[in-house]
A = this chain, B = another copy of it.
């Protein structure tokens, strides 16, 4: 099955700092006309940094949810930017680590019901510790957790950012299989 929705018209109705909103008029497979509000942004690079049986996570406040989250390191892409270069840079900035090995493992759409955002997710191994260099207005700290402890934090709801839950569960399964 492949239903699509034909775009009849569209316009940008809001230009923001990290996304734009586009309103489309579409024709459904049954001929009905519908409108679609869509968030457009260039996506992000996400890193799963692994050291032995530990994973490095960052803690930061997210105004949208008015809460502090424990997350995989990540950074917004610029349009046209290479996701792997972004992953390398953000890992260093947010955690201080440099990875000798970066392997693309997943591309995820976090909210395809209303956003075109795509997350390029890399497994980072062979890590070397250096100094974190966050932006002046970025308040973030990093810490290594045993993967078993991170899984328990998912079970109890302490880790509840979607990409982070997906990434930790994915990496845990991958590492178990390669044992």
Contacts and interface: CB of A to CB of B under 8 A. Distances in A.
A29 interface: yes
Nearest to A69: B112
How extensive is the interface on chain A, given as a class?
A: 35 or more
A26 interface: yes
Interface stretch (A54-62, A83-91, A92-100, A125-133): A54-62
A5 interface: yes
Nearest to A68: B2
A144 interface: no
A113 B16 CA distance: 14
Given A65-B109, A115-B111, A29 B161 contact: no
Interface string A104-129: 00111111111111110000000000
A107 to B, nearest CB: 6
Copies assembled: 2
A101 interface: no
Contacts of A141: 1
Given A16-B37, A18-B37, A162-B163, 7 more contacts: A3-B61, A32-B136, A34-B137, A64-B116, A69-B112, A110-B111, A165-B170
24 contacts: A1-B59, A3-B60, A3-B68, A3-B139, A4-B66, A5-B63, A18-B37, A19-B37, A29-B139, A30-B139, A39-B39, A39-B114, A62-B109, A65-B109, A65-B112, A67-B112, A106-B160, A108-B162, A109-B161, A151-B173, A154-B170, A162-B162, A165-B166, A169-B173
